[in-house]
Amino acid sequence: MTDATILYEGDYFSLRSNAYGEFVQNGNEALAVPLTEQNEVILLTEPSPAFGEPVLVLPGGATEADEDHSETAIRELREEIGLAPNRIDFLGELQPFAKYFSMRSYLYLARDLIPSPLKGDECYPIQQEKVALSTFETLIQSGRLRDARTIAALYLARAFLAEQQNKHSEDPV
């Protein structure tokens, strides 16, 4: 992003302009799909300043300086749901709005969760909701789940687990 003019600089992002147009520059993030032993995903309800209403999302947040995105995912799990994974698998990388945002979202599946709370930096209450991974589409259809990153991560997690299940069922005994 050379030769970009800063139009606005805020705490979480900046608005810039270059020869191709305006875009939002912000840091990368990691999101995790926390999966319980009962195959339930722990989702969070957090306020959305952009829409002025609560949104349903996965635990996640900004990657700090000198922090690997897998470390970000683990830290955010500890801060937001008080659990840490004994097993974490990389699901993929998204560019949520590639044309106008510079952010990359790194997606993880977090399993074998154990209590490991860490004080977070959220200045608002976070509510948790457990949903069966097999039925999360009902939340999309009802309009309760709208966050594209969360939806993509849930589909990727389900596909990852199905692929692992297929590999195990094909293994000779």
Query: How confident is residue 26, by pLDDT bands cut at 50, 70 and 90?
Result: confident
Q: What is the pLDDT of residues 110-169, one digit of tens each?
A: 999 999 999 987 777 889 999 999 999 999 999 999 999 999 999 999 999 999 999 888
DSSP label at 63? P
* Domains assigned to the chain: 28-92+104-170 (3.90.79.10)
Bridge partners of 23?
16
Greatest CA separation for the chain: 62
How confident is the model over 95-109, as pLDDT tens digits?
Answer: 998 999 899 999 999
What is the predicted pLDDT for the residue at 171?
67
In the structure, what pLDDT confidence band is assigned to residue 17 with cuts at 50, 70 and 90?
very high
Q: Tens digit of pLDDT for each residue in 28-80?
A: 999 999 999 999 999 999 999 889 999 999 999 999 989 999 999 999 999 99
Question: H helices then E strands: how many in the chain?
Answer: 3, 10
| Structure tokens that stand for 83 in this block | 């659990």
Whole-angstrom distance, CA of residue 44 vs CA of residue 34: 11
102 Cβ neighbours under 8 A, 6+ residues apart = 1, 23, 24, 25, 26
d(CA 62, CA 79): 12
Statement: residue 23 has pLDDT above 70: yes
Q: Which helix (H) or strand (E) holds 17?
A: strand 14-18
